[in-house]
Structure 1
């Protein structure tokens, strides 16, 4: 019997049941949910980091974005707020398109 102890998507318990197994789940309190979202963010970012095939990259990126959206919703932050800050930072500091890698800075 595998033990997971991790945040899962909403339909995972039903999918497990359809496979003839019995999932044990609990509903997290707000503080635990916030912490588990942070852990899930790291999990999904790591999975995206190691993805190699285009379809796998798309799948992992979608998972990562879903977690980010839930983190925002959990904190009462809209996508528009984030997009406004993203664009402002890009205007002031640039993006990552030029592939610049800072090696060091001398005084």
Structure 2
């Protein structure tokens, strides 16, 4: 039996059992859960990086967004509050839509 030791979507155990297989699971405590969300976010970001098609990339972005929704629930923050923070950061520092790639900054400046 393969060992995964990773956070999976809530219905995965039922899907595995519906396929005629067995699995063992445990429910994570809150501190463990947020750490596993962070690890899963890295995994999904890497899969987004490696996506070979726009469809695959969008699938990975959907997984990342699901993890964001779960994380903000755990931090007791609404999506609207998160969006307000995002909007304020965008107003103060801009977004990422222009594709600006910083090469170098003189020693006297600290922007980042």
Fold shared by both chains (TM-score > 0.5)? yes
Deviations 1:10-66 (A, max 9, x none): 110011011111010011111111111111111111111111211111111100100
The residue that corresponds to 1:18 in the other structure is 18
Deviations 1:65-86 (A, max 9, x none): 0001101101101111111111
Q: State how far apart, in whole Å, the 1-side matches of 2:29 and 2:21 are.
A: 26
Structure 1: runs of 5 or more not aligned: none
Q: Which protein, 1 or 2, shows the higher relative CO under an 8 Å CA cutoff with sep ≥ 6?
A: 1
Q: How many residues align?
A: 107
Q: Runs (4+) of structure 1 moved beyond 3 Å?
A: none
TM-score with structure 1 setting the length: 0.95
TM-score with structure 2 setting the length: 0.91
